[in-house]
Chain A
């Protein structure tokens, strides 16, 4: 499974975004039994996009970025698609969501 990662600019991040993405990749492997490949640019075989935001503003959530052939999910370490939740729940939501990711 390959997913696209789009980080925010990180101007005032409240947590380590890179470390958090690593946690997601590890959780994916643990739960699904396969590696999660991360792409930082658009590619043919991407199943889903993750906007990894450092704070609640989620500034990269713009239509010009989301204009891809796959679903996007906007996350921080305490929210999934703007719903507040704890870190473990965010990771679980992400793994569930990208597992269902299908190219449009």
Chain B
């Protein structure tokens, strides 16, 4: 396994990449002040695996080699593994207070593992063996891999093959004896700049005429054909300021970027689906299912941090004993633990796939994520309620440190005198970033749209609801159908 330091150094060793941020090419992403917090955040997945006190959750025994590996590269072998995954994500979410990005690769590897197996069973292809060899290397090198799914989609009412610009979905433009050439882009790629590899999957179920879009493959993140455009976050340029206080979360953060596949060559040994349109939906559903489970862990860990910040600021403000404040914090905890319950439930109800790894319960994973699209917003609202208006109107840290006016800031920013004005200032900035600043991208908007927007879960919930079975229950109870039991 890599250490956190080795992981950070490994990013320096990647070939020069075309990364653009604020209109400029970034030559050194590792030390860029707007990017580094997201690298620190991902590095936490390595750091915790180094520490004996976290290894029971952070590591696992490889199903492929028997070696001890980071759980982020593990094929789930049981429902216990699925549960430990959720607990691991909550832990890392607690330790970073932000999106640590590495779960997409873990979710992709488990989805691709079982789907390639079933494609091979039907078509006699050898995608699964290819993927197994790739995964062995992935485990051994302890890569961070970007699970890469969401296409730009263009006109949402049209399928990929009917778009005015065919590149709005990643597609095969050439098949050669040694591999394929792909073109297109993927949006919102969490942690892609911090990844060693990119594992690309289709974004939706596909019909027969869309065979060129039914493609799953892996490429190194430093492939020269790739172009990255870094996504802006609210308040992101605060990271360029001299002080870190106004950033709120001073070391950690999330990251999203667009990646463009500008005629990218993929050798056959890295191609895991090529035209099998009937399996695109299975791959999407499984990846999305795993990722919807993930949110029942990571966002709960972030929620723990925000609840802690709300409880702390209540003390700093001198209102911690007010009954309505206590009740609001109880409500925040209740909402947060409900999300965790969903994450654990869909894991406990997981099942084995024909390929041998374990899949979460799809219905419960979608219920989990549906709740995640709502509850963090309510938790954030309550945090702002408890924090008070000052969370949005506080002077900058430069004012606090100003020789001319700093003493005024400190004098009037004091709450309960047991706590310094700076403690209050820092806690408010943390609440600010998590509820409307850079971290809110991960804690709120990602909760809404990551792993699929709310309607995507409702479609799956409807599909798995089995209303006919429920109607049969009702018919028996009310006497329309015979009750043969008693």
Binary interface encoding of chain A residues 48-62 relative to chain B, with 1 for a CB under 8 A from any of its CBs, else 0? 000000001110010
Total A-B Cβ pairs within 8 A: 23
- With a cutoff of 8 Å between Cβ atoms, the chain B residues found around residue A61 in the complex are 352
Q: Is A81 on the interface with B (CB-CB < 8 A)?
A: yes
Q: Are B469 and A56 closer than 8 Å at their CB atoms?
A: no
Question: B118, B350, B352 — which one has the most chain A CB atoms within 10 A of its CB?
Answer: B352
B121, closest chain A residue (CB): A83
Q: Are B349 and A82 closer than 8 Å at their CB atoms?
A: no
A53, closest chain B residue (CB): B351
The interface of chain B, by Cβ under 8 A from chain A, is 118, 121, 349-354, 361-362, 466, 469, 472
Can you name 8 A-B pairs with beta carbons within 8 Å? A13-B469, A14-B466, A56-B361, A61-B352, A82-B353, A82-B354, A83-B118, A83-B354
**Which 8 pairs across A and B sit closest by C-beta, in order of nearness?**
A14-B466, A82-B354, A14-B469, A57-B349, A57-B351, A83-B354, A56-B351, A58-B351
Binary interface encoding of chain A residues 10-54 relative to chain B, with 1 for a CB under 8 A from any of its CBs, else 0? 000111100000000000000000000000000000000000000
Please, how many angstroms separate the alpha-carbon atoms of A14 and B351 in the complex? 16
A58, closest chain B residue (CB): B351
Q: B353 CB to closest chain A CB, in angstroms?
A: 6
Q: Are A58 and B469 closer than 8 Å at their CB atoms?
A: no
Q: Are A58 and B118 closer than 8 Å at their CB atoms?
A: no
Please, how many angstroms separate the alpha-carbon atoms of A13 and B351 in the complex? 15
- With a cutoff of 8 Å between Cβ atoms, the chain B residues found around residue A15 in the complex are 469
Q: B461 CB to closest chain A CB, in angstroms?
A: 14
Please, how many angstroms separate the alpha-carbon atoms of A83 and B466 in the complex? 19
Q: B468 CB to closest chain A CB, in angstroms?
A: 8
- With a cutoff of 8 Å between Cβ atoms, the chain A residues found around residue B118 in the complex are 83
Please, how many angstroms separate the alpha-carbon atoms of A81 and B361 in the complex? 16
Evaluate whether A82 and B351 lie within 8 angstroms (CB atoms) in the complex, with A56-B361, A57-B361 already known: yes
A13, closest chain B residue (CB): B469
Please, how many angstroms separate the alpha-carbon atoms of A102 and B118 in the complex? 26
Q: B452 CB to closest chain A CB, in angstroms?
A: 20
- With a cutoff of 8 Å between Cβ atoms, the chain A residues found around residue B469 in the complex are 13-15
Q: Are B354 and A81 closer than 8 Å at their CB atoms?
A: yes
